Amino acid sequence: MRIAWGPAGPSDGARGRRVAVTGMGVLAPCGTGLEAFWDGLCQQPPPGPARRVEDFDPVASCGPKLARQRDRFSLLALAAAQMALSDSGVEVDPLRAGVVMGSGIGGMITMEAQFDVSRAKGLDRVSPSLVPTIMPNAPAATISARFGWRGPSQTMATACASGAHALAYGAELVATGRCQAVLAGGTEAILSPITLASFANMTVLSPSGQCRPFDSRRDGIVLGEGAAVMVLEDWEAARERGARVHAELAGAASTSDAYHITAPSPEGEGAAVCMELALADAGVDPGDVGHINAHGTATKLNDVAEARAIAKVFGTPGPPVTSIKGVIGHTLGAAGAIEAVATVLALEKGLIPPTAGYGVPDPEVPLDVVAGSPRPWEPAPALSNSFGFGGHNGCLVFLPAVP
């Protein structure tokens, strides 16, 4: 990973420290914890307008006090961070330990509840804790305070690319030596009436309640909630302490379509450049990529634009592609982090999870879509794509954990 990413980086190819993924935590509609999450990715989800994390108990995970004081998106994030730290076992100087979290929307559940309070009881009954509870940086602040990590504590709010951008910036903090370890990821909990109504009135929700990425029958997204956090650690320090390394986060990039507030650039130019920059940052040739975890939202425009971007970089059909949104739905600001965990698990297990809902190919999407059942593969560099409203693009490159 270079100290400066992209074409403005050092011309001599100077590189920063290697970044190891030593811990992962995930709460997703298909399962909580790494093994349950993986098992869920390999099964067909039930149809419905939304995908919830049904087995999450905020009191048991975060304690009764925080369960009262924090919005669900912060509680999901804290639970994922606790899992990641337990998985990693890292101990670090608090001043060299950072937290970077992403969220696309923030505390909408609390916001809606306080709107109801204001209408029913008056404005003087609105909670004085409303703003600190709903602010997008609440998860990062909550995690930092819980674990006493006093390095950088920052938040990415770039719509559906937020989780990927948080991991990218967290990796940069490690690669440059500012931090020895960073907790980075994304979280979202927006399954509330007003939010669901907004997406429905935008006509992007699937009328069938089925998310079918890249399928010719796709008719829109299914919303989901969840959180995922990774421990990103200096490679040499991780090896020195005998840590288990899940994978290496070797490259990342960010670009903007500069096109439209919701629609992607039709030809996928911004997404293609983002993939190219991430691969260059990792020192990986397109021909060496063995798998792409796609953004794959199951909307007509997004899937075609992403397919065109992939074709620009890799040719047709390109590496095997999957979208886990067919199972978990679209978790917005958490999507990039949850999908990054799925990408690393694919590396570790030597299996690519299938794209649920895919069955009828679309001529406009000439990709090698993994479907039906997990596909065995020889782990190789893997790319995880995240693209968001506003034209935000984020791409991550993971390598198998080898010395």
Helix axes 335-349, 34-41, angle to 10 degrees: 90
How many CB atoms neighbour CB 289 within 10 A?
21
Reduced to 3 states (helix: H, G, I; strand: E, B; else coil), residue 262 is coil
Active-site residue, 165 included: no
What is the identity of the amino acid at 381?
P
Catalytic residue among 160, 211, 274, 395: 160
DSSP state letters, 74-140: HHHHHHHHHHHHHHH-----GGGEEEEEE-SS--HHHHHHHHHHHHHH-GGGS-TTHHHHHSTTHHH
- 295 catalytic residue (yes or no): yes
> H or E stretch including 338?
helix 335-349
Residues with Cβ within 8 Å of 79's Cβ and at least 6 positions away in sequence, in order, are 25, 27, 56, 58, 61, 62, 227
- Token pair listed for 98: 């950072």
108: tokens are: 């909408």
List 211, 295, 392, 395, catalytic entry:
295
27: tokens are: 């709460």
> Is residue 287 packed enough to be buried (19+ CB in 10 Å), middle (13-18) or exposed (0-12)?
exposed
Among residues 165, 246, 291, 330, the one annotated as catalytic is 330
> Helix-strand-coil percent breakdown of the chain, rounded to 5?
40, 20, 40
| Integer-rounded Cα radius of gyration of the chain | 20
**Residue 205 per-residue DSSP state:** B
260 noted as active-site residue: no
Residues 110/133, Cβ–Cβ less than 8 Å: yes
Max Cα separation, the chain? 64
Phi-psi label, residue 282: left if phi above 0, alpha if psi -120 to 50, beta otherwise: alpha
Token pair belonging to 124: 């003087």
Which of the residues are catalytic?
A: 160, 295, 330
